[in-house]
Amino acid sequence: MTKTKTDATRQAVTLSPLVQILVFLGSMRFGIALLIALSLLSAYATFFPLAFARERIYGSWWFLGAMGLGALNLSLCTGKSIGPRFRQAYKPSWPTTLAQLRQMPVSCTIKVSSGDVAAKKLTTAFKQLGLATNRRDTGPGTAVFLRGERGRLGYFGSIATHIGILLVLVGGMYGSLTGFDLGGSARKGGSIDLPAQELAIRVEDIRVTYNDPAGVVRPRVASQLRISQRGQEVATGAVAINEPLRFDGITVYHSTFLWVAHVTLSHPETGAVLHELALVDHETVNLPGMPLAIGSAGFFPDFTVQDGRPLSRTYKTNRPALVYRVVQEGRPLPLRVLEPDMPLEVTTPEGPMVITLIGYEKAVSYSVSRNLGRPYLFAGAMIMLTGLFLSFFMAPQRIFAGVEANGEIVVGGRGFVRHHGIEHILANIKSRVEGEES
Amino acid sequence: MPVFIEVPATALLVERSLFILATVLFVLAALSYFMNLAGKREWGPFASLLLHGALFVQTAFLVTRGINVNRVPFVGHFEFGNLFIWASTLLYLWMERRLRPVFYAVGAFLTPVVLVYLAYAHSGIVSAEHRELPIVLRFPLWLNIHVSTSVFAYAGFSLAFALGLIWLLRLWLTGASKFVPKGNVWQTIKRELPSGSVLEENIYTSIAFGFFFQTAMIISGAIWADISWGRFWGWDPKEMWSLITWFVYAVYLHARLTRQWQGPKVILVVVIGWLAMMFTWIGVAWLLPGIHSFG
Ligand code: HEM
């Protein structure tokens, strides 16, 4: 129970280069260096736009490599500490002399009149303090030793935490290797095809429910989906805010909402419709056979202009308008506002035409992802949290007491990571034993 | 498009008065803790009494605010800031109860940290308007776990930072630099500051407390994101900065275990951890827009 290492343990041992590398890879020093490196890299990445950071930093070989090294480091360090932790928890070495107890991190001496009853009193005090107590008699006429402890599971806190982190990493990796994260948009009646997954997602309906009469609050948009795989229907159901549709580990969710404006280009005199276009927000459509395109700068359900910018006052279609621009031979012309029943004239290489907003509808952009790592992530997170709880809130405390035949008692104690609270326990034992004595 | 709630004038008056009263009590508690630090020890228990009063009024303020907005008040920097001011004070007073009178000196450092948070909440730059909960946030169970754990994480790290500041001051006052002040007050302050081992022990306790809740906060946030958006982790700057904060404190926990890192190096990690925490709370919202920019 002394704090200093013996010379034998300090002796230099020559290790093979492979073992030396493994020792380094599993060392705390390397772990700390990795944690610092990951912090710096992550902090740097947050200053870039998300899409760029995801692809070029978090998804880069060097970032993933640093995480992989972290996992290796954790596995090695955890693996090598399992044995020692078990020994520490279940096979602690007993002291053999009172001198050893005096050298423990916290210790005190108690004197009682007779050694015979001292052990009994100590046992009572230990039990009253809720310490799991063991006794060892070293032989007739010699010292009696008692061991009391609390929070034995705390020895395994860091191991559980590390295993939990590893499971989260494994779950994350498994999820990203076996999973996918795709997307697509569609309006009512449309569908999204994911050929690699052999999935077809048909949007049967899109319904908008307002949360307030004025439509100032973002409304609830729900879409009804019918999903088939290899021609077989695999799921049907609704998707709405906070309500993704899940099946076979696949999650379908709304990522954004869009508007689709339907416009026609017609002959100014005869009124014959020459082109019919569906303009999705912020997309540009080329007119067939002409160096001309029409781009949507957004559809506004309750159109107004503020500080020179178009915006929507509410989510309700009180004053629907499409803001569009014509792109002639690659040259964008100024933005114009098109409202229903207020056609405008467009000059095209084929002569003037009339553009009319004939309708509009909501569309949804979906994200479709699969994450098979979910159970591992969840289990890992719970194990990690349990481990931290054990480490921090069930810190082990171990108290030894030795009793000499003449009534001299030495009590010594130690914690695992810290010796906090031990003084308090020793003072308590002392007052209980001395109190009973008087 | 945030939606504002109409609050009746009397309810608003009660809420504002409680907020101002709590602030006044926090300022008075800070001044009294300073008096204690300057050697007038009879001020210690009085300062503590004032801080208990501030905590009580702050609780009443939060309850009133909760009634006025008809939900747990955690939306935006104003409400969240006030919640974790409350948690930081609660945590400090709980530790003070076990460790007084030594801990009264810590009060002189914790209260200014709280006042900085209060100043931010009072400043015009954050909106104190009564807002409806954005619909995306209406998923009570995991959201409430997420917010309450983050409040306690921030409280633990704030207390650790206050203790780190004391350590810095100790280092400075006991150093050999010619800039060390020699006046009587400084000598008294030097004497009144808790010892290195008390600081070390309590920094560890505060960080362990904060770290546990920070972990729970990240996990509950990820579960909530998965339930709501179908994905655990979006690499969003706010998520990343809470992870960075977690990494920094993990460095502290491990560095402390090796026992080679003591004094200035450990304080450096504690200060960086606090800066990372503040950046997660304030910096990300102002500088790095993302889906968490609602606060
Ligand atoms: C990246 C590589 C890491 C290495 C090499 C490492 C290594 C260690 C070692 C050697 C210990 C000493 C305790 C023992 O031997 O049982 C320890 C403790 C601990 N580790 Fe890690 N660790 C790493 C990462 C992490 C991370 C990311 C966390 C975050 C949660 C963590 C949480 C803990 C905790 C909570 C303790 C107990 C600390 C205490 O009780 O104060 N470790 N670690």
d(CA B37, CA A175): 55
| Whether B241 contacts chain A with CB within 8 A | yes
Q: What is the pLDDT of residues B168-183, one digit of tens each?
A: 998 888 876 777 777 7
Whether A277 and A326 have beta carbons less than 8 Å apart is answered as no
- pLDDT tier for residue A180 given thresholds of 50, 70 and 90: confident
What's the CA gap between A32 and A70, in Å, rounded?
A: 10
Say if residues A286 and A347 touch (Cβ distance below 8 Å).
no
Residue A61 has pLDDT above 80, yes or no: yes
The average pLDDT across B109-136 equals 84
pLDDT digits (tens, 9 = 90+) for A67-103: 999 999 999 999 999 999 999 898 888 888 888 888 8
Res. A4: pLDDT tops 50: no
Q: How confident is the model at residue B291 (pLDDT cuts 50, 70, 90)?
A: very low
pLDDT at res. A361: 92
Q: Which neighbouring-strand residues pair with A355?
A: A265, A344
Pocket probe for ligand 1: among A161, A388, A390, the residue whose CB has the most ligand atoms within 8 Å is A161
Q: Could you report the predicted ipTM of this complex, rounded to two decimals?
A: 0.90
Q: Where would I find the beta strands (DSSP E) of A344-390?
A: 344-348, 351-370
Question: Looking at residue A322, what is its pLDDT?
Answer: 95
Asked if A389 is an interface residue toward chain B (Cβ–Cβ < 8 A), one would say: yes
The domain spans of chain B are: 9-287
Q: In this predicted structure, what is the pLDDT of residue B264?
A: 83
User: Contact B235/A54, CB-based, under 8 Å?
Assistant: yes
Q: pTM of this prediction?
A: 0.84
Q: Which is nearest to B203 in space by CA: A420, A426, A107, A154?
A: A420
Mutate to test the interface with A, among B253, B268, B284 (most CBs of A within 10 A): B253
pLDDT digits over A412-431, tens only? 998 888 887 888 888 888 88
A78 Cβ inside 6 Å of ligand 1: no
pLDDT in the model for residue A92: 85
Instruction: List A residues 251-310 in contact with B (Cβ-Cβ < 8 A).
Output: 251-253
Q: B219-262, pLDDT tens digit by residue?
A: 999 998 888 777 788 888 999 999 999 999 999 999 888 766 77
User: Computed from CA positions of residues A8, A12, A17, A20, in that sequence, does the dihedral angle turn out positive or negative?
Assistant: positive
pLDDT in tens, A185-241: 898 999 999 988 889 999 999 998 887 888 887 788 899 999 999 889 999 999 987
3-state secondary structure of A163: helix
What span, in angstroms and rounded, lies between the C-alpha atoms of B266 and B197? 13
Strand partners, A109: A410
- Residue from A93, A159, A157 nearest A395 by CA: A157
Q: Which residues of B touch A367 (CB under 8 A)?
A: 230-231
**Partner-chain contact B240 A42, CB within 8 Å:** yes
CA separation, residue B234 to residues A46, B225, B293 (Å): 12, 9, 14
Question: For A179-285, where are the alpha helices, taking DSSP H only?
Answer: none
| pLDDT at A228 (0 to 100) | 93
Question: Per-residue pLDDT tens for A103-159?
Answer: 888 888 888 777 677 778 888 888 888 888 888 887 666 678 889 998 889 999 999
Mean pLDDT across chain A: 87
Supply the pLDDT for residue B134.
Answer: 67
Domains defined along chain A, listed by start: 13-83+157-175 (no CATH), 92-151+395-437 (3.30.160.110), 180-258+367-382 (no CATH), 260-361 (no CATH)
Mean pLDDT value of segment B144-157: 94
pLDDT at A438: 46
Q: Do B135 and A393 touch (CB under 8 A)?
A: no
Residue B289, pLDDT > 70, answer no
Determine whether the shortest distance from the Cβ of A70 to ligand 1 is under 6 A.
yes
pLDDT at B3 over 70: no
For a pLDDT cut of 70, what percent of chain B falls above it? 93
What pLDDT sits at residue A1?
Answer: 34
Report the pLDDT averaged over residues A297-320: 91
Any idea what the Cα angle at residue A67 is, between residues A61 and A70, rounded to 5°? Answer: 140
Q: Whose structure tokens read 């004595």? A: A437
Q: Which of A158-167, A279-288, B84-93 has the lowest mean pLDDT?
A: A279-288
How far is Cα A360 from Cα A340, in angstroms, rounded to an integer? 10
**The predicted structure's pLDDT at residue A319:** 94
